[in-house]
Amino acid sequence: MRRQAAMVFLCLIANTLAYAETLSAPQTRFAAVDVYLDSGDKALAAWQFELADHDARIQVVGIESGEHPAFDEPPHYDRDAVAAGKADRVAVADFSLATAGELPKGQTRIATVHVRIEGDTPPDYHIALIAAGDTQGQPIPAKISISKR
Protein backbone atom coordinates (compact mmCIF):
# COMPACT_ATOMS: atom_id res chain seq x y z
CA MET A 1 0.00 0.00 0.00
CA ARG A 2 2.81 2.38 0.89
CA ARG A 3 4.63 1.52 -2.29
CA GLN A 4 1.54 2.32 -4.41
CA ALA A 5 1.07 5.63 -2.65
CA ALA A 6 4.71 6.51 -3.30
CA MET A 7 4.30 5.67 -6.99
CA VAL A 8 1.21 7.87 -7.29
CA PHE A 9 3.03 10.69 -5.52
CA LEU A 10 6.02 10.43 -7.87
CA CYS A 11 3.73 10.42 -10.91
CA LEU A 12 2.04 13.56 -9.67
CA ILE A 13 5.39 15.29 -9.20
CA ALA A 14 6.55 14.24 -12.68
CA ASN A 15 3.34 15.55 -14.27
CA THR A 16 3.61 18.82 -12.40
CA LEU A 17 7.22 19.30 -13.52
CA ALA A 18 6.36 18.51 -17.14
CA TYR A 19 3.48 20.99 -17.08
CA ALA A 20 5.70 23.66 -15.56
CA GLU A 21 8.24 23.08 -18.28
CA THR A 22 5.65 23.60 -21.00
CA LEU A 23 4.60 26.84 -19.32
CA SER A 24 8.14 28.19 -19.13
CA ALA A 25 9.22 27.09 -22.62
CA PRO A 26 8.94 29.82 -25.28
CA GLN A 27 6.00 29.31 -27.60
CA THR A 28 6.86 28.78 -31.23
CA ARG A 29 4.40 29.06 -34.05
CA PHE A 30 4.39 29.59 -37.78
CA ALA A 31 2.66 32.27 -39.78
CA ALA A 32 2.50 33.65 -43.30
CA VAL A 33 2.72 37.25 -44.41
CA ASP A 34 1.30 38.15 -47.80
CA VAL A 35 3.03 41.12 -49.39
CA TYR A 36 1.03 43.26 -51.79
CA LEU A 37 2.18 45.97 -54.14
CA ASP A 38 -0.12 48.47 -55.79
CA SER A 39 1.48 50.01 -58.86
CA GLY A 40 -1.62 51.93 -59.92
CA ASP A 41 -1.98 52.07 -63.69
CA LYS A 42 1.71 51.31 -64.28
CA ALA A 43 2.92 47.90 -65.35
CA LEU A 44 5.05 46.45 -62.59
CA ALA A 45 8.30 45.03 -63.99
CA ALA A 46 10.60 45.02 -60.96
CA TRP A 47 10.25 45.27 -57.21
CA GLN A 48 12.27 44.94 -54.04
CA PHE A 49 11.20 45.07 -50.41
CA GLU A 50 12.52 44.36 -46.95
CA LEU A 51 10.51 42.77 -44.16
CA ALA A 52 11.52 42.69 -40.53
CA ASP A 53 10.06 42.44 -37.07
CA HIS A 54 10.81 45.39 -34.80
CA ASP A 55 11.53 43.00 -31.95
CA ALA A 56 13.45 40.51 -34.12
CA ARG A 57 11.40 37.58 -32.85
CA ILE A 58 10.76 36.08 -36.27
CA GLN A 59 12.78 33.72 -38.38
CA VAL A 60 12.03 33.66 -42.08
CA VAL A 61 11.67 30.04 -43.12
CA GLY A 62 10.59 30.39 -46.74
CA ILE A 63 9.23 32.67 -49.43
CA GLU A 64 6.53 31.94 -51.97
CA SER A 65 6.22 33.57 -55.36
CA GLY A 66 3.49 36.05 -56.18
CA GLU A 67 0.10 35.49 -57.74
CA HIS A 68 0.75 36.95 -61.19
CA PRO A 69 2.11 34.65 -63.93
CA ALA A 70 4.88 37.18 -64.70
CA PHE A 71 6.27 36.51 -61.23
CA ASP A 72 5.49 32.85 -60.82
CA GLU A 73 9.10 31.87 -60.13
CA PRO A 74 10.37 32.08 -56.56
CA PRO A 75 11.78 35.57 -55.98
CA HIS A 76 15.39 36.31 -55.04
CA TYR A 77 16.35 36.38 -51.38
CA ASP A 78 19.23 35.26 -49.17
CA ARG A 79 18.56 31.53 -49.24
CA ASP A 80 21.70 30.70 -47.26
CA ALA A 81 20.64 32.91 -44.35
CA VAL A 82 17.12 31.47 -44.42
CA ALA A 83 18.40 27.89 -44.58
CA ALA A 84 20.75 28.58 -41.67
CA GLY A 85 17.91 30.00 -39.57
CA LYS A 86 19.64 33.39 -39.41
CA ALA A 87 17.07 35.46 -41.25
CA ASP A 88 15.29 37.57 -38.65
CA ARG A 89 14.58 39.93 -41.57
CA VAL A 90 14.66 39.45 -45.30
CA ALA A 91 15.26 41.38 -48.48
CA VAL A 92 13.28 40.09 -51.45
CA ALA A 93 13.49 41.18 -55.08
CA ASP A 94 12.36 40.08 -58.51
CA PHE A 95 11.87 41.40 -62.01
CA SER A 96 10.35 40.33 -65.28
CA LEU A 97 11.38 41.18 -68.83
CA ALA A 98 7.87 40.55 -70.09
CA THR A 99 6.02 43.20 -72.05
CA ALA A 100 3.79 45.73 -70.33
CA GLY A 101 0.69 43.80 -71.35
CA GLU A 102 1.99 40.70 -69.62
CA LEU A 103 2.79 42.44 -66.36
CA PRO A 104 0.52 43.12 -63.39
CA LYS A 105 -1.08 46.50 -62.78
CA GLY A 106 -2.90 47.73 -59.71
CA GLN A 107 -2.66 45.66 -56.56
CA THR A 108 -1.05 42.27 -56.74
CA ARG A 109 0.43 39.84 -54.25
CA ILE A 110 4.12 39.80 -55.09
CA ALA A 111 5.26 37.31 -52.43
CA THR A 112 4.32 35.41 -49.30
CA VAL A 113 6.86 35.26 -46.50
CA HIS A 114 6.62 32.32 -44.12
CA VAL A 115 7.98 32.96 -40.65
CA ARG A 116 8.52 31.17 -37.37
CA ILE A 117 7.54 33.31 -34.39
CA GLU A 118 9.11 33.00 -30.96
CA GLY A 119 6.93 33.93 -28.00
CA ASP A 120 3.29 34.75 -27.54
CA THR A 121 3.43 38.39 -28.56
CA PRO A 122 2.39 39.03 -32.15
CA PRO A 123 5.24 40.30 -34.32
CA ASP A 124 5.46 44.00 -35.05
CA TYR A 125 6.22 43.78 -38.74
CA HIS A 126 8.01 46.50 -40.61
CA ILE A 127 7.76 46.44 -44.40
CA ALA A 128 9.76 48.79 -46.63
CA LEU A 129 9.52 49.15 -50.36
CA ILE A 130 13.06 49.59 -51.65
CA ALA A 131 12.25 49.89 -55.35
CA ALA A 132 9.51 49.37 -57.89
CA GLY A 133 9.99 49.92 -61.60
CA ASP A 134 8.26 49.84 -64.95
CA THR A 135 9.30 48.15 -68.18
CA GLN A 136 11.92 50.83 -68.80
CA GLY A 137 13.47 50.36 -65.40
CA GLN A 138 12.14 53.70 -64.24
CA PRO A 139 10.98 54.01 -60.63
CA ILE A 140 7.23 54.10 -60.22
CA PRO A 141 5.21 55.28 -57.24
CA ALA A 142 3.80 52.18 -55.63
CA LYS A 143 2.28 51.27 -52.30
CA ILE A 144 3.34 48.20 -50.39
CA SER A 145 1.26 46.49 -47.73
CA ILE A 146 1.06 43.23 -45.88
CA SER A 147 -1.65 40.88 -44.75
CA LYS A 148 -0.99 38.44 -41.91
CA ARG A 149 -2.50 35.00 -41.81
Partner 1 sequence: MPEEKQTLSDLPPALIQGLRSHDGATPMVPRSVDKAILDRAEAHFGSRRTSRRRWALPAAAAAAAVLVTVFVVQPFEPARQTHSIADDIDGSGSVDVLDAFLLARQRVDDPSITQARVDALLGRIVSLSNEEDHQT
Task: Report which secondary-structure segment, H or E, holds 9.
Answer: helix 2-24
Residue 36 binding partner 1, by CB under 8 A: no
Q: Which lies closer to partner 1 via its Cβ, residue 16 or residue 138?
A: 138
Nearest to 139 by CA among 61, 56, 44: 44
**Distance between CA atoms of residues 141 and 34, nearest Å:** 20
Residue 97 binding partner 1, by CB under 8 A: yes
Residue 98 binding partner 1, by CB under 8 A: no
Q: How many residues bind partner 1 (CB under 8 A)?
A: 23
For the segment 50-69, give every residue that binds partner 1 (CB under 8 A): none
Backbone dihedral angles phi then psi of residue 39, each to the nearest 5 degrees: -100, 10
Q: Please, is 6 exposed, middle or buried when counting C-beta atoms within 10 Å of its C-beta (0-12, 13-18, 19+)?
A: exposed
Residue 128 binding partner 1, by CB under 8 A: no
CB of 65 to partner 1, least distance (A): 14
How far from each other are the two terminal CA atoms of the chain, in whole angstroms?
55
Residue 146 binding partner 1, by CB under 8 A: no
Q: Which lies closer to partner 1 via its Cβ, residue 7 or residue 84?
A: 84
Q: Which lies closer to partner 1 via its Cβ, residue 89 or residue 109?
A: 89
3-state secondary structure of 12: helix
138 residue type, one letter: Q
Q: Which lies closer to partner 1 via its Cβ, residue 92 or residue 117?
A: 92
Where do contacts with partner 1 occur on this chain (CB under 8 A)?
45-48, 76-78, 81, 86-87, 89-95, 97, 130-131, 133, 137, 139
